[in-house]
Amino acid sequence: MLDLMTGNAAAAKAAMLARVEVIAAYPITPQTSISEKLAEMVANGEMNAKYIKVESEHSAMAALIGASYIGARTFTATSSQGLALMHEMLFWASGARRPIVMPVVSRALGPPWNIWTDHMDVMGERDTGWMQLFCENNQETLDLILMAYRVAEDKDIMLPAMIIEDGFILSHTFEKVDVPAIEEIDFYLHPFNPDVKVNFRKPRRYGSLVMPDWAMEFRYNNALAMEKAKKKWVEAGIAFKKAFGRDYSSLVELYRCEDADVALIVAGSAAGTAKVSADRMRERGRKVGVAKLRAFRPFPTEEVMRLGEGVRTIGVFDRSYTFAQGGAIYGEVRNALYPMASDVRVKGYIGGLGGRDITEAEFEKMFEDLLAIAKSGSMSKDVEWVALKDGSYRW
Amino acid sequence: METYRDLPQSTYSLQTTESVRTGTWRTFRPIIDTKKCTRCYTCWKFCPDVSIEVREEGEYPRVDYDHCKGCGICANECPTGAIEMVREDSIC
Amino acid sequence: MIEIRFHGRGGQGAVVASELLARAAVMNRLHAAAFPFFGVERRGAPVTAFCRIDLKPIRTHSEIYFPDYVVVLDPDLVSMTNVLQGLKPDGALLINSAKESCDLQHVKWNKVATVDATSIAIKYGLGSENSPIVNTAIIGAFSKICPQVPLESVIESILKASPGDKKANAEAAKEAFETVKGVW
């Protein structure tokens, strides 16, 4: 059914459609309306779930790890400082192979105190062993949460997943969303039934000490599961397309990249703006494309390499900074393309931090810059902060 | 188990920690003198290993020697000095 | 694409106005997106909200700088903020005011329409006398100056998603549509 809803309403709806059984959440802007909506749906009987009120995000994640051990389908949501407070428990969830699904409504970390979107919060958790997927719009938020349960609970995977929706830009924006019927979802997403469950009649110890002789092998299995998740996301995408018509069958969505001279890799809501910008450039005869990075973990190395085989000048737009060489996505893309380093140029753009608006005009400047690099074969800077007030930027 | 392929996805033990007989770690054994004990259960409250047992209100506390590690906190906390720490090798 | 900016005060319903308008457009088989100015919302303080309407799916996620329409929910805001900022040269302005557009002192613009949404809101008991909620009346009037969103869709949207007494809100929208002045 077509409806108009915010990203946060779509996230809460997805939890309801997935028949989530245990929710534990703590409020933080701009996530709060997800947990409020869920509390309302649990209270009025729309959802048959246990809602655990907790004193922090750390406790929320701890509660869900326990609930997931029982065999319950679990859900929480957070942002920014709340995600940072969860950090320790994020490792716990992935190491214990608990398929918890959590929308992260991305927001800058302070100081400077700031409630608006950027990806510093999620990139700070990139090495916790969670799957991380970015949404371009509210439809994707709803769809990817449903897909995430299917992949996360797959017996070969059993890893938690963050579904990332940009704070305010998606979370508080009303967009058209096609909401599947819960009966349709029941065919796509089966109940969670893990092999190992807590059984109170047969008490056991969970998460027990592992000595150095085997701890590394456990970690290796985590790594293998993340690698296998690439295929599972593609399969889940194909099944989703069959059931609902919307296509998520690739980890990198290519937009007008086939004959492009340059391509820009973008994750999240800015990908939509970049596509509009690419359309305008195409109207002026500029052959540019957008590669929308849907999955950051697992990282689609092969798909990025395939892009590099066709397009030799690639830009990466990051809404985060690593305090090393550019943004988080830029680092991964350059890493993936290193084997063909002599043929491919990769430029990093840092922008949209702390909620700074990224306009179509800014993307056009990035495309023009990339086209100039493609033409001359050289670039003066590897990484550039876009629309930075450095004296040359007009605002 | 020979390779990573043989491991379960996440760690769990088939029994609870009760199966681990930590009583063998002990050098000193707490012995409760029921003549001095007032059954205030301070020892029960302080034992970090849940090794002081009180099954029913009113009975004297008993030490679970299968699990008591002999840390001596109970003896230290006992307000009437009813718990004595005795060297294991002097008992047997 | 049509881009609309709403000026109001926190609590007057500018954000809901943008949502209801977007919903009306979707009901009219168009694509739409609505969003508030992303910031801190405080009762009484000036707030803005935005709406995009198009034939194609709306992919851009940037803010609106050059609107086609500006809608002002509170006439006092005209002297406090530059409501005309960025308004396209052929763009239109709709102001909640009991005056005719030619009597408005602070506004020099070609296309200006006015509607007495405050009186209409009070008449239909929307909000309170001291703080009437004018959002449904104003979008009823807006449908008169924006052909892409007909009154029927606006009313359908209000009946589905308006907070408060849906019927009274729909009546207010209808009356505002009929009494809007200065339509070019």
- On chain B, the residues whose CB falls within 8 A of the CB of A203 are 15-16
Average pLDDT over residues A2-31: 97
**What is the reported pLDDT for C183?**
80
**What is the reported pLDDT for C10?**
87
**Would you say residue B46 lies in a domain?**
yes
Q: Which subunits sit against A, judged by 3+ Cβ pairs under 8 A?
A: B, C
Counting Cα atoms < 13 Å in the Cβ hemisphere of C168 gives: 13
For residues C63-87, b (16+ Cβ closer than 10 Å) or e, as one string?
Answer: bbeebbbbbbbbbebbeeeebeeeb
pLDDT at A394 over 70: no
- On chain A, the residues whose CB falls within 8 A of the CB of C32 are 4, 174, 176
* Chain A nearest C-alpha distance from C56 (Å): 11
- Spell out the domains of chain C, with CATH numbers in brackets: 2-179 (3.40.920.10)
Taking an 8 Å cut-off on Cβ atoms, the answer to whether C62 and A273 are in contact is yes
Looking at the structure of chain B, the number of domains it has is 1
Cβ atoms of A66 and A21 within 8 Å: the answer is no
Choose which CATH entry (3.40.30.10, 3.40.50.360, 3.30.70.890, 3.40.50.970) describes domain A2-244: 3.40.50.970
Asked whether the ipTM of the predicted complex exceeds the cut of 0.90, the reply is yes
**What is the reported pLDDT for B89?**
87
pLDDT at B92 over 70: no
Beta bridge partners of A263: A289, A314
Average pLDDT over residues A140-161: 98
Cα(A46)–Cα(C128) distance, rounded to whole angstroms?
Answer: 32
Q: For A32-41, A386-395, B14-23, which range has the lowest pLDDT when averaged over its residues?
A: A386-395
Chain A residues contacting C, CB < 8 Å? Answer: 2, 4, 116, 136-137, 166, 168-170, 172-176, 269-270, 272-273, 275-276, 355, 357-360
pLDDT band at residue B17, thresholds of 50, 70 and 90?
confident
C53 three-state secondary structure: strand
Q: For A118-127, B56-65, B83-92, C62-71, which range has the lowest pLDDT when averaged over its residues?
A: B83-92
Q: For A57-61, A102-106, A323-327, C77-81, which range has the lowest pLDDT when averaged over its residues?
A: C77-81
**Would you say residue B60 lies in a domain?**
yes
Taking an 8 Å cut-off on Cβ atoms, the answer to whether C61 and A359 are in contact is no
Mean pLDDT over all residues of chain B?
A: 94
Cβ-based contacts under 8 A for chains A and B: 49
Residue ranges with strand state E in C28-184? 31-36, 46-54, 69-72, 92-96, 111-115
**Would you say residue B3 lies in a domain?**
no
Task: Note if the bond before B30 is cis, omega within 30 degrees.
Answer: no
Work out the angle between the directed axes of helices A57-70 and A80-95 (0-180°, nearest 10). Answer: 30
User: Which of A96, A208, A217 shows the shortest C-beta gap to B7?
Assistant: A217
Using alpha carbons only, how large is chain B's radius of gyration in Å? Answer: 17
pLDDT at A392 over 90: no
Share of chain A above pLDDT 90, in %: 94
Cα(C71)–Cα(C94) distance, rounded to whole angstroms?
Answer: 5
User: Which of A95, A205, A225 shows the shortest C-beta gap to B16?
Assistant: A205
Cα(C158)–Cα(A356) distance, rounded to whole angstroms?
Answer: 33
**What is the reported pLDDT for C44?**
81
* Domain extent at residue B81: 30-92
pLDDT at A395 over 70: no
Q: Where in chain A are the domains? A: 2-244, 252-385
For residues A241-272, b (16+ Cβ closer than 10 Å) or e, as one string?
Answer: eeebeeebbbbbbbbbbeebbbbbbbbbbbbb
Q: Which of A5, A116, A134, A173 to mutate to test the interface with C (most CBs of C within 10 A)?
A: A173
Average pLDDT over residues A241-247: 98
Architecture of the domain whose range is A252-385: 3-Layer(aba) Sandwich (3.40)
**Would you say residue B8 lies in a domain?**
no
* Chain A nearest C-alpha distance from B57 (Å): 27
- On chain B, the residues whose CB falls within 8 A of the CB of A204 are 12-16
Average pLDDT over residues B67-90: 96
**Would you say residue B69 lies in a domain?**
yes
pLDDT in tens, A292-312: 999 999 999 999 999 999 999
More confident residue, A6 or C130: A6
B-proximal residues of A, 138-177, CB under 8 Å: 158
* Chain A nearest C-alpha distance from B20 (Å): 11
C48 three-state secondary structure: strand
* Chain A nearest C-alpha distance from B19 (Å): 10
Q: Which subunits sit against C, judged by 3+ Cβ pairs under 8 A?
A: A
Does an H or E element contain A372, and which? helix A360-376
Cβ-based contacts under 8 A for chains A and C: 62
Taking an 8 Å cut-off on Cβ atoms, the answer to whether A173 and C34 are in contact is yes
Instruction: Find, in chain A, the residue whose alpha carbon is nearest to that of B3.
Output: A217
Q: What are phi and psi of A125, to 5 degrees?
A: -115, 15
Taking an 8 Å cut-off on Cβ atoms, the answer to whether A204 and B14 are in contact is yes
pLDDT in tens, B53-75: 999 999 999 999 999 999 999 99
Tokens 């340059």 sit on residue: A262
C139 three-state secondary structure: helix
Taking an 8 Å cut-off on Cβ atoms, the answer to whether B16 and A196 are in contact is no
User: Which of C36, C61, C65 shows the shortest C-beta gap to A269?
Assistant: C61
**What is the reported pLDDT for A244?**
98
Average pLDDT over residues A358-366: 97
Taking an 8 Å cut-off on Cβ atoms, the answer to whether A196 and B10 are in contact is yes
Tokens 């000048």 sit on residue: A313
pLDDT at A345 over 80: yes
**Would you say residue B62 lies in a domain?**
yes
**Would you say residue B4 lies in a domain?**
no
- On chain A, the residues whose CB falls within 8 A of the CB of C38 are 116, 168-169, 172, 355
Q: Which residues of chain C have pLDDT under 50?
A: none
Q: What's the token pair of residue C21?
A: 């308008």
**Would you say residue B17 lies in a domain?**
no
Mean pLDDT over all residues of chain A?
A: 97
Instruction: Find, in chain C, the residue whose alpha carbon is nearest to that of A117.
Output: C38
**What is the reported pLDDT for A90?**
98
Cβ atoms of C54 and C30 within 8 Å: the answer is yes
Does an H or E element contain C38, and which? none
Cα(A213)–Cα(A202) distance, rounded to whole angstroms?
Answer: 28
**What is the reported pLDDT for C70?**
98
Instruction: Find, in chain A, the residue whose alpha carbon is nearest to that of C19.
Output: A174
Tokens 């000490």 sit on residue: A209
pLDDT in tens, A321-336: 999 999 999 999 999 9
Taking an 8 Å cut-off on Cβ atoms, the answer to whether C35 and A272 are in contact is no
What CATH number is attached to the domain comprising B62?
A: 3.30.70.20
pLDDT at A207 over 80: yes
Residue ranges with strand state E in chain A? 2-5, 22-25, 50-53, 74-75, 101-106, 131-134, 161-166, 174-178, 205-206, 252-255, 262-266, 288-293, 295-297, 313-318, 345-350, 383-385
Taking an 8 Å cut-off on Cβ atoms, the answer to whether A206 and B8 are in contact is no
